[in-house]
Structure 1
Amino acid sequence: MTSHSLNLDHMTTERRNSASESLDRMTAEEIVALMNAEDAQVATAVSAESAAIARAIDVIADRLAGGGRLIYIGAGTSGRLGVLDASECPPTFNSPPGQVVGVIAGGKVALTSAVEGAEDQPEDAIRDLQAIALSATDVLVGIATSGRTPYVLGGLSYARDVGAYAIGLACNSDSELSRSVQLMIAPVVGPEVITGSSRLKAGTATKMVLNMLSTGAMVRLGKTFGNLMVDLQAKNQKLLERSRRIVSQLTGLSIEEADRHLQRCGGDVKTAIVAHQRQLTPATARNLLSDVQGHLRNALESPQSED
Structure 2
Amino acid sequence: MKIYKDFVSYNQAIGLSKPLDNDIDVGYYDPPKIVINTDPVKVDFYRISIKIKYKRKSTPNTAPVSAVFFNTPDLIIEPGWDAEPTYTGMYLQLSKKIINENRFLFKTYLDYGRHEALHLTDDEAEEVAAVFKLMIKYYENDKNHFGVLLSYVNVLVSLVEAFYKRQFSTNPKQYNRVVTDFQQSLIDYYNEPVKQLPNVQYFADRLGVTANYLGDIIKHFTQKSALENIHDFIIKRAKELLVENQKLNTTEIAYELGFEYPNYFSKFFKKQVNLTPKEFRLQAISKN
* Shorter-chain TM-score above 0.5: no
- TM-score tier by shorter-chain length is under 0.3
Greater strand fraction, Structure 1 or Structure 2: 2
Greater gyration radius: 2
Output the TM-score relative to the length of structure 2: 0.26
